[in-house]
Amino acid sequence: MDILHNLALGFEVALTWQNLLFCAIGCIVGTLVGLLPGLGPLATISILLPLTYSIPTGGALIMLAGIYYGAQYGDSVSAITMKIPHASSIVACIDGYQMTLKGRTGLALFTAGVSSFIGGTVAIVVLSALAPTLGEVALLFGPADYCALMLVGFVCVSFVTTGSLLNGMAMCLIGVLLGAIGTDVNSGMQRFTMNLAFLTDGVGLVSVALGCFGIAEITKNLDNRDERTPFNGKIHLMPTWAEFKRIIPSALRGSVVGSFLGILPGGGPVIAQFAAYAVDKKLSKYRHEIGSGAIEGVAGQAAADEAAARTSFIPLMSIGIPENAVMALMMAAFIIKGIQPGPNMIAGHPDLFWGLVASMWVGNCFLITLNVPLVRYWLSVFKIPYSVLFPSILFFCCIGTYSVNNNLDDIFNTAVFGFVGYMFLRLDLDAAPLMLGFILGPMLEENFRRALLLSRGNFTSFFTRPISGTLLAFIGIFIVWQATAFVLLARKTTAGQQPA
Amino acid sequence: MNDRNLVRGLFLIAISLAFGLMSLRYPMGQFSRAGPGLFPLLVSCLLFLIGVFTVARSRFVERVPMDFNLKNISLILASLCGFAVISEYVNMIVGIVFMVFCASFAGTSYSVMRNIKISIGLVAVAFAFQKLLGLNLPLY
């Protein structure tokens, strides 16, 4: 009964006309920006973050969440109609684009919308049941356990987002080092500031995010110079009853898979989509059609995508540790608004927490009532040539950076990170783990030093505590597995080369 | 130097050395009472190891050529910095116009008329931000 009571409180917050408006704006703007080629949820959130500065806390969080779902949906739309893959919608390209080729774009978009709704609804039930309980578990965590948990997050994110543990870990560590720039909290000493006054406070989050995701992505798209042909096909949205019936089971399966995978460290939409797609391929009644434009191929992954996007809020809001880069950015946005996510957030700001949860569902309703019917108009974004778009995106990056502190010097910071981000892209290093490292870095150092202080400099305490010991063992096994796989692969290639 | 994997390793080593050597100048303390230099040094060492390993591995895997287009990134960065400098010393409207004209050199086609239209549009958006959202923009 407690949950119902809390949810009622949440809806009371979410359904004020102001917050409804913020949610709707977030969903629509998020969808529009998410549709743009090359801009995934991370870039979209960092570009639109400044929009929320002048909005009251509750509304700002609701709007940010709306932007996130909107961006996710926008991604899947561009994947289905034009096969433009973003990191977050690779799976939607497979069957979704096949359906477009068969002239069933409308059905695919409808399926994606409805399945997202189902996935989101299931995830919200999981979220409201689990988050408060997990919040209590989080109180058992000591500094050493937090360290270990963050390291698990690094390892998982590195592996999931980049596919290469080594590259991803390198980016996490660079992020941690960047996070160390500025004044050391314990000693008050200035580190890595090179006597530059504007670095005393550390490197601005928005500068890093906009540089690595905004500027670098724009430049990469400019380098590619491929003009895309906009989608001009007809869109017929409503499915027949028989088609509609095929959506439900697959979407439900996807929701369960997605909700579960969304909670795990390093989890989130990407891995959930692949898993749901694989499950559908095994279990669906129409599994022989999957891969060639089956409804199930779209429904399952869309539901998993949405469900995981929501349940990935659980670790952030209950333990206070973001599990992937998007959540790290969300956490930063929370902190800008003066809210420290963690076990105390649910108790201290119940209206914010439950309001956010309820607004997720409201956001889903907006997506399905506004975005699905209006999708043909949204698609006209693609008719704007890139030569018009990119100066505008650049402008938003500038305004976004400037308005954090009303300081024009920050734009130079963004420019530096734009260059660094471009280097990363060209060196095939993914900037998403860097973001996580950058935001978790100061927390990691704080907890690391505290843990050593408590154990009087004894490192064994990291291994003897049950929680951190288990987590570190997991990391150890993972690294050994990766190393073995690499050695085996290397042996196979050298063995293959010798006869020739 | 036309090997992306090798360059990546060297790049990582360079970053780790930059941070590692700088952190040597800060007090280390002991493990039980860590100084400000200890944690960054540990992290830099780890990064250095990864860098060395990447360099070593690049000898075993196939070479991937690295493409790097200096023109576009320089144009974009120049337009950003120009925007900041001009907004500081003249005003932001001129800054926006400069940014649009400078950045569009990186596009596939260049048209003065189109740039003027984009500039007008963006200045209008900036005014909307200033008046409606209350952002403090030094527009004029």
What ipTM goes with this model? 0.92
How many structural domains are present in chain A?
Answer: 1
pLDDT at residue A178 in the model: 92
A220 in Cβ contact with A250 (< 8 Å):
no
CA distance A456 to chain B (A): 5
Contact criterion met (CB < 8 Å) for A215 and B11: no
Residue B16: per-residue pLDDT: 93
Using a CB-CB cut-off of 8 Å, the residues of chain B touching A221 are none
pLDDT tens string B66-96: 777 788 899 999 999 999 999 889 888 999 9
Number of H helices, E strands in chain B: 5, 0
User: ∠A8-A11-A12 over CA atoms, to 5°?
Assistant: 85
Q: Hey, what are A277's tokens?
A: 């797609």
> Which residues make beta-bridge pairs with A369?
none
User: What does the pLDDT look like over A119-138, one tens digit per residue?
Assistant: 888 888 888 888 878 777 77
Is B73 in the A-facing interface, judged by CB distances under 8 Å?
Answer: yes
- Residue-wise pLDDT for A453-477, tens only, equals 888 888 888 888 888 898 899 889 9
- Measure B23 CA to nearest chain A CA, in Å: 8
Give the mean model confidence (pLDDT) for residues B7-36.
Answer: 88
Enumerate the β-bridge partners of residue B34: B29
A422-465: pLDDT as tens digits: 998 888 888 888 988 898 888 899 889 888 888 888 888 888 88
Report d(CA A402, CA A371) in Å as an integer: 31
User: Residue range A38-45: average pLDDT?
Assistant: 77
Do A193 and B74 touch, CB atoms closer than 8 A?
A: no
The kind and range of the H/E element at B68 are none
**What are the pLDDT digits (tens) for A57-116?**
888 888 888 888 888 888 888 777 777 666 566 777 777 788 877 777 788 888 888 888
Expressed as residue numbers, the domain containing A70 is 2-497
Q: Is B15 on the interface with A (CB under 8 A)?
A: yes
A14: region left, alpha or beta (phi > 0 left; psi from -120 to 50 alpha): alpha
Q: Name the residue among A49, A281, A222 with its Cα closest to residue B71.
A: A222
> Residues A251-274: pLDDT tens digits?
888 888 888 888 877 667 777 887
Model pTM? 0.85
Task: For residue A186, give the nearest of B36, B57, B73 by CB distance.
Answer: B36
Does A117 have pLDDT greater than 80? Answer: yes
Q: What is the dihedral of CA A396, A399, A404, A407, to 10 degrees?
A: 150
- How far is B37 from chain A, CA to nearest CA, in Å? 8
